[in-house]
Structure formats: C-alpha cells, structure tokens
Amino acid sequence: MAKNKKAKKAHKKKRGNGAAGGDEHVLDRLYLVIDSRKGADPDTSYTARLFSRGRQQIAKKLGEEAVEALIEGIRGDRPKLVGESADMLYHLLTLWAATGVKPKAVWTELARREGLSGIAEKAARKQK
C-alpha cells in the first residue's frame, strides 16, 4: 500500500500543476501523449488514426476546429467555446507532432515576443 502512495505522489509531482515556473504545463503533457501515439493502432487510437492520414488531414481538422471555435466565439457561448478551444489546441499539438515542432520552440517564440507591441513585432517580420 505504501508503494502505491509513493507512486501516486511521484506521478503528481511529475505532472506539476500547469502553473508557470519549473512545472510542466498541461499542453506539454498532452503533446507527449499525442507524440507517443505515432505508430499506434489507428483502430484503437483517434490520434494514431490522424497520424495515419497524414499532415494534410491533421491540418484540415485543425482548420475545422478553428472555425467551430470562431463560431462559438461569435455566438458568445462560453461552454461551447471552451470545448472547441480544447479541440483546436489538441489538433494544433497533433500537427506540431506530425511536423516535428516541439512545444518548447513555440513557448520560446512567445517569450521572445512578450512585451513587444504586436504592431512592432509584425513590422520586424516584414523587414526580414
């Protein structure tokens, strides 16, 4: 029984709470699960099925989910927007995994942009 409690405690510690700092974020954990589904059985895993259909299908599904989130945002239905946002993030992470983009690369880019004016940041991209 003590062994089981230690395992649960270690799992909780490993998971973190999603807060800033050294703790792993829920999106990082989700990415690891998604990435682990590469090569899994498409009959038993929706994620594996997406991977088997290729990047184009994953991107298409991301677009569909983005449109659904947009619709719920316009309607103002918060619970549905939350659900569609979760679907959209899941499909975005799946596309990242399919193309080899690691969440840390995106977090680094977001941190680089932090504190920059969106207008200034966009102008700097045009100059490159």
Q: Is residue 111 part of a domain?
A: no
Give this prediction's pTM.
0.76
Average pLDDT over residues 95-101: 98
The pLDDT, as a whole number, for residue 23 is 67
Q: Is residue 3 part of a domain?
A: no
pLDDT bin (cut points 50, 70, 90) of residue 22 is low
Residue 25 DSSP code: P
The CATH number of residue 42's host domain is 1.10.287.1080
Q: Is residue 11 part of a domain?
A: no
Q: Domain span at residue 84? A: 24-100
Average pLDDT over all residues of the chain: 86
Residue 65 reports pLDDT greater than 90: yes
Q: Is residue 49 part of a domain?
A: yes
The per-residue pLDDT for range 28-45, each reduced to its tens digit, is 999 999 999 999 999 999
Give the residue among 69, 54, 70, 65 at the shortest CA–CA distance from 91. Answer: 65
Domain total of the chain? 1
